A and B are shown apart, each in its own frame.
Chain A
Amino acid sequence: MSASDQLEFRVAIRDALAEELERDPSVIFFGEDIAAAGGVFKATPDLFERFGRERVFDTPISELALAGAAFGAAVTGLRPVFEVMFGDFMGLAMDSLVNQSAKFWYISGEQHSVPLVVRSAVGGGGRFGAIHSQIHGTWFQGVPGLKIVCPSSPAEAKGLLKASIRDDNPVIFLEHKRLYSVKGPAPPADEVLPLGQARLARAGEDLTIVALGKGVADALAAADALAEAGLSAEVVDLRTIRPLDLDTVLDSVSRTQRLLVVEEGPRTGGWSTGLLGQVTERGLHDLDDAWIVATDETPVPYSPTLEDAFMPDAAAITASVRSRLGVGVA
């Protein structure tokens, strides 16, 4: 891999937005500090200068108004993308997303869909404390009509964000803060990935580890460590919480007979619990074992020692597999 095709995650986000703004004049992008300032995570610089304030604009700190504006714009011909800076702020936008955007296609008798995307930075590890570190996907996973996407790498981020902007339905797009500075191979030009199709990130025979977002890199690192101990782990990058690609997970489990789901968040009400339940419902005959590595049932702590212990990482995944499956300490 040459240095030139190393793409930074935050640049992948910016490139996806730029390409879709360029391709489709109905795409607009707005949010707090996203235009002139280029975003607090520097994910959206230069878009304002390039596309002008009619298409890319800063807004008041009014998350409910942003969500309402995106909904109303989406049902009248635009394809809005808006940023809610930290996922934790999505509670403020919830009425419009849940009661307006998510339900419109169905309750209108399919008169019109709601093509919008709401991007947010999510997740722990940034020492931001309990109210700037949550992953809000699970707040929305029980709402029919919403798609929830969580990319795991720069190439995935670009292809999935482009897909989300082109999708005719409301999409909640989760960008893990710990990924913004990660670099990886650039995707093929114009690659648009499917929404609702999980990706086999690593093939293996003894165990399936399902993860998404930052968790995929952790699972891959754990799989490397486990391989040294003689255990072959398959890693599935789920990509979307809703729709849930159960078939890919079932297919993997039918070959490995063991399932570990890794979630950065509490298991109660988590996507991991839902996935495990559905795998059990449909694939119990294939299962020798199934369990979850999740966080404690507390808010995300601030202190570095507490937060590091709270977050599932490669070491935690490796340790859990070793103890659960009795894999010898290498």
Chain B
Amino acid sequence: MGSSKTGTSEGTERQARYIDAYARMLLIRAFETAIHRLFLRGEVHGTTHLYAGQEASAVGVCLALEPDDYVAGTYRGHGHALAKGTSPVALAAEMLGRATGVCGGRAGSMNVIDLEHGLIGCFGIVGGSIGAALGAALSAKRQGRVAVAFFGDGATNQGYFHECLNMAAVEALPAIFVCENNLYGEFTPMSAVTAGGDIPARASAYDIPAQSVDGNDLWAVEAAAREAVDRARSGGGPTLIESRTYRHYGHSKSDPGAYRADGELESWLERDPLRLARERLLAEGVSEEILATVEATVEEEIGAAVDEALAAPYPDPGLEQASEFRG
């Protein structure tokens, strides 16, 4: 019970924020389920890397950001884009190779760019997002913004990681390095290829504050991100967050995930980020009806988005007036 009117209203506002965040996580899950189906139907081409299972990570971090802050995502980037505000219709159309895609169908699943929403790119090379965010942080420092790099555990063995963390620390840049540790670099367990196995310790070596959080807990991720954002905006330099999470699908569409130990997926499904968020919202007094309405609305939104994207035209090679250069 709120002790004053203000308290009650703040509580309601706060609750509404997390209901919205839950809806955003659901949106990502429903989007990935739809993309999976479309891939099997041959409508999504090449390959695609699904974000299902990691939703609390992107949504939790983006809850702590302003709309004009910068985000660099990975080739598993649909969740990063949707969490930052990319339209599901434009994103689905991009996956489908349509002219109305967020990049006009030129980028595809692994390389989405949406500057209008601060998404400076999703990067098909492991670690590429780290370099991009380092540079965006140079601008962000002048603009009062922050720049976030999402990357996987595999990227912590790339030159990008070590070179850019060092330089971000030396320059005290407003960068936030979010390592989504989903335990596998492609098909290989992290433990087999990552000496020491302690990702925050790597950041600590560069004098960068670092912490590990339960990446399936929206509230935990958001709290860590807020601390990092506050530090960045107040001139305190970069932060590393290890978001410990799990991908429900294999690495890409060519990978059924056969290397996983028996029971591993099941135990992570027990800790599905959507399930955890739903349980917490119920415990905090959000009604079953409200949640059911949110869930139905998201299903409908994604259904409509996919239909709209499927109805969109392919780019016409005869009409393309592409130039390698601007101007």
| Chain A positions near chain B (C-beta within 8 angstroms) | 28, 57, 59-60, 62, 64-65, 67-78, 80, 92, 95-96, 99-100, 103-113, 144-145, 147, 167-169, 243
Closest to A103 in B: B111
Interchain pairs with CB closer than 8 A, number = 148
Closest to A113 in B: B326
Q: Which of chain A's residues have a CB closer than 8 A to the CB of B189?
A: none
Q: A75, B120: Cβ atoms under 8 Å?
A: yes
Q: Which of chain B's residues have a CB closer than 8 A to the CB of A144?
A: 324
Cβ-based interface call for B178 (8 A): no
Partner of B107, one of A67, A109, A169, A243: A109
| Chain B positions near chain A (C-beta within 8 angstroms) | 70, 72, 101-107, 111, 113-116, 120-121, 123-125, 128, 130-140, 142-143, 147, 159-160, 163-164, 166-167, 170-171, 322, 324-327
Q: B120, A76: Cβ atoms under 8 Å?
A: yes
Q: B138, A69: Cβ atoms under 8 Å?
A: yes
Q: Which of chain A's residues have a CB closer than 8 A to the CB of B133?
A: 72
Q: A147, B325: Cβ atoms under 8 Å?
A: yes
Closest Cβ of chain A to B274, distance in Å, is: 31
Closest to A109 in B: B104
By CB atoms of chain B within 10 A, which of A64, A105, A167 has the most?
A64
Q: B167, A65: Cβ atoms under 8 Å?
A: yes
What are 14 sample pairs from A and B whose C-beta atoms fall under 8 A apart?
A60-B163, A65-B163, A69-B167, A71-B131, A72-B134, A72-B139, A74-B135, A75-B115, A76-B70, A78-B139, A99-B128, A104-B121, A107-B107, A113-B327
Given A77-B139, A109-B106, A110-B326, A96 and B131 contact (CB-CB distance below 8 Å): yes
Taken together as a complex, chains A and B put the C-alpha atoms of A144 and B120 apart, in Å, by 20
Taken together as a complex, chains A and B put the C-alpha atoms of A145 and B326 apart, in Å, by 9
Q: A59, B138: Cβ atoms under 8 Å?
A: no
Closest Cβ of chain A to B163, distance in Å, is: 4
Partner of A73, one of B72, B130, B138, B326: B138
Closest Cβ of chain B to A172, distance in Å, is: 13
Closest Cβ of chain B to A303, distance in Å, is: 33
Taken together as a complex, chains A and B put the C-alpha atoms of A69 and B150 apart, in Å, by 16
Contacts A64-B163, A69-B131 supplied; 18 other A-B pairs, CB < 8 Å:
A59-B167, A68-B128, A68-B160, A68-B163, A72-B72, A73-B135, A73-B136, A76-B120, A76-B143, A78-B139, A95-B160, A104-B113, A106-B322, A106-B324, A107-B113, A108-B106, A108-B113, A109-B101
Q: Which of chain B's residues have a CB closer than 8 A to the CB of A78?
A: 138-139, 142
Given A72-B133, A72-B138, A111 and B115 contact (CB-CB distance below 8 Å): yes
Q: A64, B325: Cβ atoms under 8 Å?
A: no
Closest Cβ of chain B to A35, distance in Å, is: 13
Q: B327, A68: Cβ atoms under 8 Å?
A: no
Closest to B315 in A: A109
